[in-house]
Amino acid sequence: MLTLYTFPTPNGRKASVMLEEVGLPYKVHRVDLQAGENKRPEFLATSPITKIPALVEELPGGKARRLFGSGAILLHFAERTGRLLPESLDDRAEAMSWFMLGVSDLGPTAVDMMRFSVRAPEKIPYAIDLYKGELMRCYGALDERLGAVEFLGNSYSIADIACFPFIAAAAVAGGSLLDRFPNLKRWHDAVAARPAVQRGMRIPD
Ligand SMILES: N[C@@H](CCC(=O)N[C@@H](CS)C(=O)NCC(=O)O)C(=O)O
């Protein structure tokens, strides 16, 4: 059995969307970040960086396999199920590139943007402008790509799952922001309509 350690955040939801897409049964363990449950010593063995999402799989013989970080979880289940990564090398190369953009550019930039513009006790214009500019750079690249293809890796893949929850969060919090990126908006609506995505986006609540 798989246990997903998660909280209702975009990174957590990448993992639950993935598990819903591949259809493997799993249990959900809500790690309350606001209550600091991620800092409890018992969580350290699963997530050395004390962040969600993380996942534990019980294996035969009392063994267990852990995975931590949304990128590792998406890649692992794509490899294991042979799904959600294009087969042709060309499409796979594109999918991997956009998958990495989601994990290493879009996600961290969106989080830092929120930290500096909303949470920071002191508002630093340089930092806010920097992260706003970087986020628009990500949106611009995604919008241009999605003007040429239906999904980031041509067919629906972990590249789309790696980006979707952060774009969905912006669609809710950013008002008319997505109207400036019509291809990204079209893609957002198509991904949001997938039943597995709708189930995954409701986890853990
Ligand atoms: N690189 C990680 C980042 C995970 C991450 O930032 N998780 C946040 C929630 S979205 C977290 O657990 N934060 C708790 C903390 O920073 O203490 C991933 O892609 O999953």
Instruction: Work out the pLDDT band at 43, boundaries 50, 70, 90.
Output: very high
What residues does ligand 1 touch, defined as CB less than 6 Å away? 9, 11, 33, 38, 50-53, 69-71, 103, 107
Map tokens 């087969």 to a residue.
87
What mean pLDDT is predicted for residues 150-157? 97
Please, what are the domains in the chain? 2-82 (3.40.30.10), 89-194 (1.20.1050.10)
Tell me the CA–centroid distance for residue 9 and ligand 1, in Å.
9
Q: How confident is the model at residue 20 (pLDDT cuts 50, 70, 90)?
A: very high
* SS3 labels along the chain: CEEEEECCCHHHHHHHHHHHHHCCCEEEEECCCCCCHHHCHHHHCCCCCCCCCEEEEECHHHCEEEEECHHHHHHHHHHHHCCCCCCCHHHHHHHHHHHHHHHHHHHHHHHHHHHHHHHCCCCCHHHHHHHHHHHHHHHHHHHHHHCCCCECEEECCHHHHHHHHHHHHHHHHCCCHHHHCHHHHHHHHHHHCCHHHHHHCCCCC
Contact present, 156 and 167 (Cβ < 8 Å): no
C-alpha 43 – ligand 1 centre gap (Å): 13
Q: Phi first, then psi: give them for residue 68, nearest 5 degrees.
A: -135, 145
HSE-up of 180 (CA within 13 Å, CB side)? 11
- In this prediction, residue 17 carries a pLDDT of 98
Report the pLDDT value the prediction gives residue 143, as an integer from 0 to 100.
98
Residue position matching structure tokens 């019509």: 182
Q: Could you read off the pLDDT of 97-114 as tens digits, one per residue?
A: 999 999 999 999 999 999
Which ligand 1 atom sits closest to the C-alpha of 71? 19
Here the contacts of 147-150 (C-beta below 8 Å, separation 24 or greater) are 147/183, 150/187, 150/190
Kindly report the pTM of this predicted structure: 0.97
Q: In which band, very low, low, confident or very high, does the pLDDT at 175 lie, cut at 50, 70 and 90?
A: confident
